[in-house]
Structure 1
Amino acid sequence: MNTIPLRQLSAYRAMLDGFSRFGMDLDTVLMGTGRLRSLDDVVPRVDLADLFDTAWRAAVAHTGDDAIGLKMTPRQPMLGLGSMAHLVMAADDIRCALQQFSRFTGVISPTTSVGLELGPERCRVTLRVSPGHQPAAQQRYDFMAATLLQGFFWVCGLQIRPLVVHHPFPAPADPGPWLEAFGAPVMFGAGEFSMEFPQSILSLPVPTADPSIADLSERLATRLLEQQGGSLVAQVRQVVSRQLPRGDPRREQVAAVLCMSERTLQRRLNEAGTTFHELVDDTRRELAQRFLDSGGATPTEMSFALGFSDPSNFYRACKRWFGRSPGDYRPS
């Protein structure tokens, strides 16, 4: 089982707060689906996604507002992070906070994953939401993104707005609520949900930074992820990172390590809103960034450590990830 009791999920607690402010009892909505015996049930990922979708569709029906996901964000954004809050608030800067947020999103909700991509002038935060048996509700993306933006303000005391938002849903008749919430142009009908920011935000300091608390919180988050079996995305990334020095990871090998068939792995990653290829690429990019920031290895050494059979492939990947070659890369 790769989730924890519904009541213990930070995402559930954040939604509970938002729903109550609009006169809705989230527990009644969830229990009314007939999928739960109690809110202490341990729910499989696909069923959890269905429960969240049902709740958000009920919220739209109750309010008549398709933009309700933007407006139900918790009054205290750290509520949505639960045990992750201390880890984020103890980070040195926004870059470290986002990296930890990306790494441990499964602790908050097993149905969501977050990616961080760095370019020469911009960084991109990507949100992926696992669908249930039906396509994911738009409000799940809106709620997560709006909560993240509120979290920026809470953590560093500054109102940080994206340069542009890419939204995977069709443009609404009135895009005003989205333009107001994000404070940026919104490109609807995109291939995935992402927000682009100036790379300069990554160096913004977190006033509550504390290395000792950060270390303790990271160990706690790791233990929580292990206790709930870890999100499948996290498990695959861990296996991939171990296999990279031996060459290009193969899906069937990773599936075998996780004691499942290749077909099951592929299906469950699709349910999580990602693919094996994307996870390999994301893992390589994050490791490459660490290598380049530390400056302790040559480009050739890095290329083989990341599983590239030819250093030229690593050079091309760096151009795609960071907009520059390994030799031109400079730590942020």
Structure 2
Amino acid sequence: MGDIASGRPRALLTLVRHAESQANVDRVLQGVADAPISSKGEEQLRKLEAGWRPGANALPSNVYQLPRPTLIVTSPLGRARKTSNAIARGCGIREVLLEDSITFRSPPCQPPAPQAHEHVLVDAGLSERNFGAAESTRNSQPVDGYTRPPRTEVGRAESYSQFERRVNAAGWKWIEWLRAYAASSVNTAETQPWMSRNEKTNQDKGDTEPLGIPRDTEPGANQSGDPQASRPEQEEAGTSESDMSSTHDATAVSDNIPHLVLVLHGQWINAFLTHHFPEMRTGRDAYYIRSLNTALFTMELWDHDNSRPLRLVRKNDTSHLGPALPRAKKRRTTQSTRLTDLWHTPA
């Protein structure tokens, strides 16, 4: 198990960004402050729940052809909790308990026993970046309809380096939990191979490269870049479905393979992917790796390289929302009057 030649990863890890909030629509900066889910976000949640529901046949198990989550862990912020609950309803897993009192100010939770769990867990370590006094502002200015939380509630803003360290610590914590579960699971040895259809085709040709991840990239190359490389406005500003870039094209999978699902936020996803897949910071994602609302990023956990155990096989998958809309082409405007025309204009 965990051997590339066998086509069998140890486990799967999926990151899911929360549904669209009203702050995304209004382009208001929200970190640990919360805004209601927008009407479009509510529709995204309905489609997300339906996407995770098992199909009529045993396989595929859902729209994404992913195994049922072994464990769902969510950020304590309301928009993430609501998104995790939609996934839980689709999978037949108990939602976050109403009496749960974990907030972004709580200590990061300790991972539970390495076993399947039938209810959603909450981890403060998955919270969005805390922007302090800049919470609920647009371009550092107050916005009508948005009450800025008191400083005593949000505390001091997190620097990007502080946030990055928190993301890395939380990310590795759950990767190690997933690794421990995969090692202890009696079903692991019986797991059927899971791979994308494109990867399977490549393997049949003798090419086992993962989708989107060049093998010649150095594991430690350019891990974080500029410490200010994630502009706050970009995370919660929202993006259109036309921005989707997905490597998803999967075959049937076995529900026996361990599958951890983390429900969180755009800046968190950007920091995590920047750390584990620095080569993604190119082209349109050079400054910030964008994630769409309710989009899935799925990674395989392998044992062949302990310094880099994850392989990205799915990016910004919003297949549950339907076909992506074509990107609107920008109009190029030309100057109607040439400067030379002005020179020869009669007095």
- What TM bracket, shorter-length normalisation? under 0.3
TM-score, structure 2 as length reference: 0.27
Greater per-residue helix proportion: 1
Q: Computing the radius of gyration over CA atoms, which structure comes out larger, 1 or 2?
A: 2
Q: Determine which structure has greater relative contact order: mean sequence separation of CA pairs < 8 Å that are 6+ residues apart, divided by chain length.
A: 2
